[in-house]
Structure 1
Amino acid sequence: MQTTEVHTSSERIGKDRVKLRVEVPEASLAPALAAAYRKWAHEIRVPGFRKGKIPRQIIDARVGADTVREEALREALPDFYSEAMDAEELQAIAPPDIEVIELTQGAPVVFEATVDVRPEINLPDIGSLTVEAPPSEVNDADVSEQLDRLRDRFAELEAVSREARRGDFVLIDLNGMRDGEPVEGAGAPDLLYELGSRTGPPKLDDELEGNRPGAILRFTDSIRVGAEEAESGALPDGDISFTVLLKEVKTKRLPPLNDEFAKTVGEFDSLDELREDLRERLGDVKLRMVSEEIGRLVLDALVRASDLEPPEKLVDTEFEHRLHHFEEDLERAGIGLESYAREVGSTVLEVRSELRAEAAHSVVAELLLEDVARREDIEVAQDDLGREVGFEAARTGRAASEVAEEMLTPANLRSVAAAILRRKAVAFVVEHANVIGRPHDGSTVEAAKEQTPASEAAEEADAAVEA
């Protein structure tokens, strides 16, 4: 960017809004004006003149001197605006509204920019933040819970002749009819359904419970869907007559908890070895989870201690981002926002309000963390990028060079660096806050990461980043 002699002044017209007045000498517009004339000299045709050699006077007559000046200013304006913002030591958080006041030939260019700016931040005293860490120890109950999950995963379904109970699996033929015609999406042959899961028609679980194989059940169910599902052509709204043939009742048979089970699960000679392995794995996972929770608790405490009011522009952007992703998640689950709100006993307005409150909290947290990074000179070094590549390579089992090529493109590098900077700022706050019951003498998420296979990929990752 070419430096110009811009003259600036600014006034606050709102909590986070500034009106910037900028005056640019005529000479500073000259390079952009020359470029605009060169462009027009190549674009228009004038008999007797070669392309690119058309005098300015003729271009002015054909195109208009004002048009050329407007085009020149349009090209130069971003640089003028950026230089003026630097001169006033302002940071924009949204694109400006610009009004050109003066663009007369021979006079300085004058324009005004109304812009939302980053607010002034009074960072709370980090050392005064106090949170209590959740317990990080692994107890016998934790290990037993994991063993139960393993047994459930290796369980076999066994047909029984008794009545169906909650927790059983039933094999059914499900047919839904309306006005004597099959309803698309309301029927399924040989459907293996978990009784009590409540994933079928609302009355299905209650109708199945207590019946034996061979039973034929008939009932009418009222299906209610939101406007989003109706528009998408999902299961239609209204009453549907269901006929269900209960073909089989299956119950889970859990394997006995012994040495043979341990050998089935993995390369363990005994149940004690399996227990010890689970305890170690749970310890690593729990330490990581506790460290992440400490970071969240400390960040929440920092936000509560701050008097910062989030700029509405940033909150609007963050809210729209969160709402978009939330609606995408709901769409993948086959429901809309209206149906979700009804299922959780809320309203669309309340769900949106909650998302907006979360967006405002997030904006304050990010502004505070950025201020921490600025005050403490926290930066992202090449080693940080190398470790990030190494972690991702270890997590996905891909070559570090391949991950680096994907992660460190110009399009991705800024977001990767921002995520690293945020984590380092959080780590700083956690380190200097008063954390009661801090695990392992202040272990952090990064310490837990160093115990993963990512460390083995670090050297290769550093080489990939340097390349």
Structure 2
Amino acid sequence: MKSAVENLNPTRVRLTVEVPFEELKPSLDAAYKKINQQVTVPGFRKGKIPARVIDQRFGRGAVLEEAVNDALPKFYTEAVNEGDLNPLGQPEVDITDLKDNETLTFTAEVDIRPAIEIPDYSGIEVEVDPIEVSDEDVDKAVEQLRERFASTSPVERAAAEGDVVTVDLEAKVDGEVLEDGVAQGVSYTIGSGELLDGIDDAVTGLEAGGEATFTSELKGGTAAGKEAEVTVKVTQVAQRELPELDDDFAQLASEFDTLEEMRADSRKRLEQTKKYDQATQAQEKVLDELIGLIEIPVPEKLLADEIQTRKHNLEHHQLGQMGLDLAGYLKMQGKSEEEFEKETEEQATKGIKTQFVLDELVNKEQVNVGQEELTEHLMRRAAGSGMSPDQFAQAVVEGGQVPMLVGEVARGKALAIVVEAATVKDTNGEVVDLDDEDETAETVSADADEVTEDKAAEKTEA
């Protein structure tokens, strides 16, 4: 077999492969055997039909077609290896010449990973937010905890902001009650903004038994995005009562004996959260700086496929679970379709570039992933998926996704190497020391792992 590579552009090549006919013989024999098992010819036992009879009855062309289809993946893979290529996705194969008992010639066009030169990244400098926790931050955290332990008691008076009302709802569009527009016994805290726009004004001032009608844009359901006439009836008004902020509350809401100890723990937790956010911010900015230093061509088809996949996942998975369509979602977000298209393309482009760069870094820095690191990452991913570690591990193995997880860990470690070499300061001018950055780097580099190129990046068969 002979092969030649023609570079069509920095991310696409055309392979021309010429195969001597004798190299087709194993596939040709397999084709005759397969046809033998599928057809019946009078006078011959099944599986014992001579090749010449199959040629006469069904045509030599049918046998050659079967043989070529069987052999193409092998010859394509050999040509890819010979050319030392990193293909992305499936090739477009065209059989240009097939001469019986002479040669098979075909071409295969395929996208490839672009050649990337990683520059010296030790000079990267970024600025991040400082770790500062104010007394107001602690007050807010304690107040949120206090809200969780609030109790309610029915009252015989008009509803006011902060009260919890129990309501029945009925929504009409164009005068017709929607099938999914009726709800009873809904609990709502006035002022929380968790239900329909306009409901706060409608129920404020109503006592139990009172009702009102208001107009609101529906956020979900079959009529999401449409204006509806909503009738709300209050069946109960309850007053929220917050516990006193004292040592008794600290003992009720935490493992601490005093309010002072509980506040100190809240401050510590907030500092840890801000430290994690700071590390994430640093790594995102370092990654952006690194990508900005490199010329990274993006294959057009890979980008188009990634954009389509992101749109599909948004529309059919995320929005579907919320009962929204794309138009309703864009209206809620205050975005035009053009803005959405541009944003999706930018995100997809960044995801692809991120994966290209981090994978090249993995190779350059010779990053290895140990079993313990993989197990720790698997545990984190399992926690995020809502599955037990055993269930998640089984799903990963059955889905052939172990290499994907290894890649995620390796990219995270590669990014951590770059961050360690960079200079990170907060806005106060203090140098930031990032500890345990590997785990955070895995999160930051996760955008690359969303890219559908994850599966296509491996050498594929025709």
2:415 aligned residue:
426
Judge conservation of contact 1:338–1:347 (CA < 8 Å) in 2: no
Query: 2:167–2:184: 8 Å Cα contact kept in structure 1?
Result: yes
- Residue of structure 1 aligned with 2:215, choices 221, 224, 238: 221
Equivalent position SS for 2:181: coil
How far does residue 205 in structure 1 lie from its aligned partner after superposition?
2.2
CA RMSD of aligned residues (A): 3.1
Greater CA drift, 325-334 or 138-147: 138-147
Assess, with a 3 A threshold, how the Cα gap between structure 1 residues 412 and 127 changes in structure 2: closer, same or farther.
same
- Aligned partners of 2:225, 2:367: CA distance in 1, in Å? 55
CA separation of 1:93 and 1:248: change in aligned 2, threshold 3 A: same
Q: CA deviation at 1:253?
A: 2.1
**Alpha carbons 1:36, 1:72 under 8 Å: kept:** yes
Within 5 Å, give how 1:61-210 maps onto structure 2.
61-160=56-155, 163-176=158-171, 182-209=177-204
The corresponding residue for 2:434 is 442
Q: Deviations over 1:180-237 (max 9, x none)?
A: 864433343333222234454443322333x141574443526578xxx7xx744694
The answer to whether 1:383 aligns with 2:372 is yes
Cα deviation for residue 99 of structure 1 reads 0.9
> Which deviations, in whole Å up to 9, do the C-alpha atoms of 1:150-204 show, x marking residues without a partner?
1011112244556544433223333445788644333433332222344544433
- The alignment's TM-score, normalised by the length of structure 1, stands at 0.83
- In the TM superposition, residue 43 of structure 1 has moved relative to its aligned partner by 2.9
- 1:363 Cα offset (Å): 0.9
Q: Which deviates further from its counterpart, 66-75 or 9-18?
A: 9-18
C-alpha contact 2:203 2:212 (8 A) present in aligned 1: no
Structure 1 residues 382 and 246, CA, compared in 2 at 3 Å: closer, same or farther? closer
Match of 1:320 among 291, 308, 319: 308
Quote the offset at 1:79 in angstroms: 1.3
- Tell me what 1:464 maps to: none
Q: Structure 1 274/203 Cα, relative in aligned 2: closer, same or farther at 3 Å?
A: closer
Q: Does residue 410 of structure 2 align to residue 416 of structure 1?
A: no
For 2:289, what is the secondary structure of its paired residue? helix
Shift of 1:365: 0.9
Aligned counterpart for 2:342 among listed residues 343, 350, 353: 353
CA–CA distance in structure 2, aligned partners of residues 340 and 384 of structure 1: 39
Amino acid at match of 1:213: E
Cα distance between partner residues in 2 of 1:448 and 1:299: 13
Distance 1:338 1:402 in 2: 36
> Counterparts of 2:381 and 2:9 in 1: how far apart (Å)?
44
Percent same amino acid at aligned positions?
33
2:290 matched residue in structure 1? 302
1:316-367 Cα shifts (integer Å, max 9, x gaps): 2221222222222222222221112122222223222211211111111111
Q: Map of 1:25-44 to 2, 5 A cutoff?
A: 25-44=20-39
Q: Give ranges in structure 1 of 5+ residues lacking alignment.
A: 1-5, 450-467
Cα contact 1:337–1:348 (8 A) shared by 2: no
| Greater mean deviation of Cα atoms: 362-371 or 393-402 | 393-402
Matched, 1:267 2:266: no
Alignment CA distance shift 1:234-1:324 (3 Å)? same
Aligned-partner SS, 1:346: coil
Q: How does 1:321-336 map to 2 (within 5 A)?
A: 321-327=309-315, 328-336=317-325
Contact 1:99 1:112 in 2 (8 A): yes
1:393 Cα deviation (Å)? 7.1
Question: 1:393/1:71 Cα in 2 relative to 1: closer, same or farther (>3 Å)?
Answer: closer
Cα deviation, residue 314, structure 1: 1.9
Q: Secondary structure of 1:125's partner?
A: coil
Contact 2:171 2:228 in 1 (8 A): no
Contact in 2 for aligned 1:19/1:112 (Cα 8 Å): yes
SS at match of 2:87: coil
- Gapped runs of 5+ residues in structure 2? 442-462
The Cα shift of 1:370 comes to: 1.0
Number of corresponding residues:
437
CA distance, structure 2, for counterparts of residue 397 and residue 339 of structure 1: 28
Alpha-carbon separation, structure 2, partners of 1:330 and 1:403: 24
TM-score (norm 2): 0.83
Q: Which residue of 1 aligns with 2:273?
A: 285
Task: Measure, in 2, the Cα distance between the counterparts of 1:97 and 1:391.
Answer: 39
Report what 1:19 is aligned to: 14
